């Protein structure tokens, strides 16, 4: 059995000191949003409790699908690097960037420089920007394919991009992993599903992503961005492929979105007969300890008709 932990949208805080010069950009809107809403609704004590529980579960690997920071300030990116190093070694954790990690031009390149060991394929150099994706990592029976939907956008937009160039490279990695009989997991920040989020936050290239999966296959897609614990399905060559989201790891109880949690997947089987169980573990209202919120069988070992 292979155990994979998945969490997302850490939004590490509090914000460091910020200069007026740094605010002369899209960051001014993000800074106001932080002061009015995100600072109030995020509790980084929950993140500590979630990661403690996650590590106690002894997963074989951890996937983090973006938004480690808020405004992509240099001090935030460095703080996130130190936080990642405290969580585990790069070989144990796979990261893809989110829109907040690429909040302004050149921010993604700085994040790649700081977090590169967590975002590089086996035997490859760390990425230097969005053109360094996708990557492929093999851990036991599992192939982890990390893609980047992160790009700087105009104020009041949080869209993601999945380009033709990245689709072609990702298809090659999916074919390679499929030929080896591996369970293929695609990591992406934005949900590749229509209607999963508002138009100003959606992924541009959803049709391209789904066409790629339909032709080349994948067993599981993991994303963040929506701060919601969702399960959608898209067509694959031999049935449907689960697309799983997760709540923001630091979300407090009492907000508009569910409180923070992480996903724990148990994967067993062989190609054509994989079995996958998903348990969501997180903050239970009124309890100090992290507990199981829900569980379900995502893949039963039988092919799900498209």
- C-alpha angle with apex 225: 117 to 201, nearest 5 degrees? 120
38-42, 125-129, 230-234, 280-284 — which is least confidently predicted? 38-42
Average pLDDT, the chain: 89
Residue 83: per-residue pLDDT:
94
Predicted confidence (pLDDT) per residue in 53-104, tens digit:
999 999 999 999 999 999 888 999 999 999 999 999 999 999 999 999 998 8
**In sequence order, which ranges of 90-205 are alpha helices (DSSP H)?**
107-115, 164-179
Residue 35: per-residue pLDDT:
47
Percent of the chain with pLDDT over 70: 86
Residue 302: per-residue pLDDT:
63
Q: Does domain 2-300 have CATH number 3.40.50.300?
A: no
Distances (CA, A) of 72 to 15, 78, 82, 147, 166: 10, 10, 15, 19, 23
Nearest CA to 138 among 98, 95, 100, 183? 183
d(CA 209, CA 189) in angstroms, rounded, equals 13
Predicted confidence (pLDDT) per residue in 142-194, tens digit:
999 999 999 988 887 889 999 999 999 999 999 999 999 999 999 999 999 99
Q: How confident is the model at residue 31 (pLDDT cuts 50, 70, 90)?
A: very low
Q: Domain extents for the chain?
A: 2-300
The arithmetic mean of pLDDT across residues 251-259, rounded, is 76
**In sequence order, which ranges of 34-155 are alpha helices (DSSP H)?**
39-41, 44-56, 74-87, 107-115
Q: Is the pLDDT of residue 34 over 50?
A: no
Predicted confidence (pLDDT) per residue in 110-126, tens digit:
999 999 999 999 999 99
- With residue 27 as reference, give the H or E element that holds it: helix 27-33
């Amino acid at each position: 059995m292979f155990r994979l932990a998945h969490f997302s949208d850490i939004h590490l805080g509090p914000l460091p000191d910020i200069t007026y010069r740094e605010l002369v950009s899209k960051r001014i809107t993000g800074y106001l949003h932080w002061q009015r809403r995100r600072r109030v609704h995020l509790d980084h004590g929950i993140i500590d409790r979630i990661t403690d529980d996650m590590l106690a579960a002894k997963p074989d690997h951890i996937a983090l699908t973006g938004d480690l920071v808020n405004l992509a300030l240099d001090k935030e990116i460095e703080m996130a690097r130190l936080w990642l190093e405290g969580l585990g070694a790069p070989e144990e954790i796979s990261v893809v960037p989110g829109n907040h990690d690429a909040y302004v031009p050149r921010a993604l390149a700085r994040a790649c420089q700081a977090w590169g060991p967590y975002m590089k394929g086996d035997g490859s150099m760390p990425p230097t920007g969005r053109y360094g994706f996708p990557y492929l990592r093999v851990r036991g029976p599992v192939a982890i394919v990390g893609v980047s939907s992160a790009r700087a956008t105009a104020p009041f937009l949080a869209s993601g991009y999945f380009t033709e160039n990245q689709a072609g490279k990702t298809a090659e990695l999916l074919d390679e992993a499929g030929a080896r009989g591996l369970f293929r997991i695609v990591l992406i920040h934005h949900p590749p599903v229509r209607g999963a989020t508002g138009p100003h936050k959606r992924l541009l290239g959803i049709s391209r992503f789904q066409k790629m999966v339909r032709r080349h296959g994948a067993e599981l897609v993991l994303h963040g961005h929506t701060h919601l614990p969702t399960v959608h399905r898209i067509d694959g060559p031999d049935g449907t492929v689960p697309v799983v989201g997760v709540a923001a790891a630091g979300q407090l109880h009492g907000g508009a979105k569910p409180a923070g949690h992480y996903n724990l997947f148990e994967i067993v089987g062989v190609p054509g007969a994989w079995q996958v169980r998903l348990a969501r573990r997180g903050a239970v209202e009124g309890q100090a300890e992290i507990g199981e919120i829900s569980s379900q069988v995502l893949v039963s070992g039988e092919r799900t008709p498209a």
